[in-house]
Structure 1
Amino acid sequence: MPYLRDVRPTKSELLILKTRLKIAIKSHKTLQMKLDGLIMEVTRLSPNVKAEYELLIARHRRVRHLLAPAYMIEGMLNLTIAAYSVESKTEIELSEKNLFGVRVPVITGDNVRTDLTLRGYGLLGTSMVIDDLADAYEGLVDAIIAYAGNAAALSHLLLEIERINRRVKALEHVVIPSLEQSIKTISAAREELEREEQTRLFHVKKRRR
Structure 2
Amino acid sequence: MASTQINPTRMELNRLKKKKVTAIKGHKLLKDKRDELMRQYLDLVRENMALREKVEAGILSANKNFVIAKAGMSGAALNTALMAPKQEVNLGVGEKNVMSVNVPTFEYQTRTADTNDIYSYGFAFTSSDLDGAVKSLADILPDMLRLAEIEKGCQMMAAEIEKTRRRVNALEHVIIPETETNIKFITMKLDENDRSTTVRLMKVKDMMLEEAHGYSKK
Q: Normalised by the size of structure 2, how large is the TM-score?
A: 0.88
Shift of 1:114: 6.3
Contact 1:108 1:149 in 2 (8 A): no
Shift of 1:108: 2.7
- Which AA in structure 2 matches 1:180? E
- Which AA in structure 1 matches 2:52? Y
Aligned to 1:109, the other structure's residue is in SS state strand
- Which AA in structure 1 matches 2:109? D
Residue matched to 1:206 = 206
Equivalent runs, 1:50-199 vs 2, <5 Å: 50-111=49-110, 115-199=115-199
Contact 1:85 1:120 in 2 (8 A): yes
Contact 1:21 1:180 in 2 (8 A): yes
Q: Normalised by the size of structure 1, how large is the TM-score?
A: 0.91
Unpaired runs of 5+ residues, structure 1, are none
Deviating more after overlay: 19-28 vs 177-186: 19-28
Contact 2:118 2:135 in 1 (8 A): no
Percent same amino acid among aligned pairs? 28
Shift of 1:141: 3.3
Residue matched to 1:35 = 34
Shift of 1:187: 0.4
Structure with max Cα Rg: 2
Shift of 1:134: 0.5
What is the number of equivalent residue pairs in this alignment?
A: 207
Change (3 A) 1:38 1:53: same
Aligned to 2:126, the other structure's residue is in SS state coil
Contact 2:51 2:147 in 1 (8 A): yes
Aligned to 2:122, the other structure's residue is in SS state coil
1 CA distance for matches of 2:127 and 2:163?
A: 55
Unpaired runs of 5+ residues, structure 2, are 210-218
2 CA distance for matches of 1:118 and 1:59?
A: 16
1 CA distance for matches of 2:82 and 2:114?
A: 13
- Which AA in structure 1 matches 2:17? K
Misfit runs of 4+, over 6 Å: none
The C-alpha deviation readout for 1:60-85, integer Å capped at 9, x for no partner, is 21122112211111222222222223
2 CA distance for matches of 1:117 and 1:105?
A: 29
